[in-house]
Structure 1
């Protein structure tokens, strides 16, 4: 490793941020935490630390970046982003926002099939640390790795990040499938057909197609689409039960990032002429333009085609 790491600051004290803080504490590292409601100043908790981990919700990324820009941080400080989402205004991923703001600092994406509740129960899980700076990715790998949390490294941060972001939209659709009791066949078809759609979007945005077959892509997709612990899954399930989006969100702890991500993806797809049939039906459902039954019918009635005609690698 390039230098000894022992002091880490977690930005965001929600469920995910608290879970990451616990992993680091259990590994013996000194951990500081900060949120916008903290009495401590941001400057006081990033002073002389080795790593800053951002676990804030997507809407809080840019304000947090701006606060940190006002502080004279070292260019050696590793910035880890553990947020899954897309910026509404710029359509940028969190890592791109961080890297543009701090071009001299290594930025690492942490993403994978990581349901917080299971991790807090010490159930086995795996994740990915991805960065163009492999030494930084390996440093983050080292501090998070434990007997129950296995960490892999790759050099495709945008792919790792988009895998964790795009699957949230598909999780809404999976929740609809289960809420409507459509069966295992339908859900398997949905998840399988969503993967080329994710790859199609990802590769157009600069990711490598093969990354989506890894933990941060397919792995996260399976976990999120098959668990009632997922907030995005809960949104789809609730819509299938006839609840309004407002009713569902009022009873969900934390942020269902898939809702905002769906809107941003439609914007991107319209600008770049990317085919996103599943995402478009989720968008129309969230907007109240169609019912869950109509969304399923629209997907089933699409033009017949070869299975791998639209897979971009």
Structure 2
């Protein structure tokens, strides 16, 4: 029986713990608050994050990294990106062996432009990790926890490690594909949150399906444009971590990013929205990081740019939409993008 240490007892960490427990793994989940530890262990619930879900008995919570990590062959990191470095620094102090690290976080670090796997590589010495694998794709925690059919992708530079994690998670409810384009999978998973904010904002303004379809389509172009410029494979963005995750995050009320954008579109200030939601909205932080990267690398990302102005400079959402619609004429098929695409074939 494999032991998996799960760092992060929020909705996503708990949902993935259910998948692992269903597959017969011994799951040790780290939770900071003793009351949450007691609830998981004695009531087999995590009501704040996944109401009305009963957890399998082989999920056990601990308030100590040492207890969670002891004997674990795998460590799953399911944390907001802003919390990852601090958690890893604490975790490494208690890590006395070399597990395979898996992360399921979707975001970029502002100012450094780092992807999550790069943050992990910086904080966890090679002597204390066997490799790093990312799990991403269209997957709301609420639906995964109810065992609704879900399909995701795992990516690692070495296919063998991706296949190992595929075997760890795959079951009749949770189908897992593999990919070796870790960069593309992480970029797709992070940047779709920006477009989901925009989709929610558009819905909050009452602009309807035409506007949202256009925003999603052109948003995918922005994601691929930046990803390919950074070295990702173009076809990754046509897969689960690209268009798949974009669809589910832009069209569902489960999406925190969509809900945040919707509230902003209805005229509520960002700080008030974030405070009322009580959970991290990754798209806000990622918008800042992606805007910085686009400026630095001179990549055109008009949707991201306008969202940055709305979120961080107080621009009116309606004015942002007007400015997007009033941009100069251009061709849909970008020769530069297809030059990059053709390099792979």
TM range (shorter): over 0.9
Superposition pairs for residues 49-60 of structure 1, below 5 Å? 49-60=72-83
The answer to whether structure 1 residue 215 and structure 2 residue 237 are counterparts is no
Superposition pairs for residues 254-265 of structure 1, below 5 Å? 254-265=279-290
Q: 1:31 aligns with which of 27, 37, 44?
A: 27
Question: Which segments of 5 or more consecutive residues in structure 2 lack a partner in the other structure?
Answer: 35-61
User: In structure 2, what is the Cα distance between the partners aligned to 1:157 and 1:247?
Assistant: 35
Superposition pairs for residues 143-162 of structure 1, below 5 Å? 143-162=168-187
The answer to whether structure 1 residue 67 and structure 2 residue 90 are counterparts is yes
Q: 1:97 aligns with which of 109, 112, 119?
A: 119
Q: Residue 150 of structure 2 corresponds to which residue in structure 1? A: 125
User: In structure 1, what is the Cα distance between the partners aligned to 2:31 and 2:125?
Assistant: 20
Q: Residue 12 of structure 1 corresponds to which residue in structure 2? A: 8
TM-score (norm 1): 0.94
Secondary structure in structure 2 of the residue aligned to 1:275: coil
Is this contact kept in 1: 2:16–2:144, CA < 8 A?
A: no
Is this contact kept in 2: 1:99–1:105, CA < 8 A?
A: no
The answer to whether structure 1 residue 22 and structure 2 residue 18 are counterparts is yes
Secondary structure in structure 1 of the residue aligned to 2:171: coil
Secondary structure in structure 2 of the residue aligned to 1:250: helix
Secondary structure in structure 2 of the residue aligned to 1:290: coil
Q: Residue 66 of structure 2 corresponds to which residue in structure 1? A: 43
Shift of 1:267: 1.3
Shift of 1:72: 4.4
Q: Residue 80 of structure 1 corresponds to which residue in structure 2? A: 102
User: In structure 1, what is the Cα distance between the partners aligned to 2:23 and 2:93?
Assistant: 31
Q: Residue 116 of structure 1 corresponds to which residue in structure 2? A: 141
Q: How has the CA–CA distance of structure 1 residues 237 and 6 changed in structure 2, closer, same or farther, with 3 Å as cutoff?
A: same
Deviations 1:238-258 (A, max 9, x none): 011111112211221421000
Deviations 1:42-63 (A, max 9, x none): 1221121110000011111111
The answer to whether structure 1 residue 173 and structure 2 residue 198 are counterparts is yes
Matched positions, count: 308
Question: Which segments of 5 or more consecutive residues in structure 1 lack a partner in the other structure?
Answer: none
The answer to whether structure 1 residue 284 and structure 2 residue 280 are counterparts is no
Is this contact kept in 2: 1:15–1:254, CA < 8 A?
A: no
Shift of 1:205: 2.3
User: In structure 1, what is the Cα distance between the partners aligned to 2:111 and 2:309?
Assistant: 20
Shift of 1:68: 2.7
Q: Residue 294 of structure 2 corresponds to which residue in structure 1? A: 269
TM-score (norm 2): 0.85
User: In structure 2, what is the Cα distance between the partners aligned to 1:217 and 1:278?
Assistant: 17
Q: CA RMSD in A?
A: 1.5
Q: Residue 325 of structure 2 corresponds to which residue in structure 1? A: 300
Is this contact kept in 2: 1:14–1:254, CA < 8 A?
A: no
User: Of Structure 1 and Structure 2, which has the larger fraction of its residues in helix?
Assistant: 2
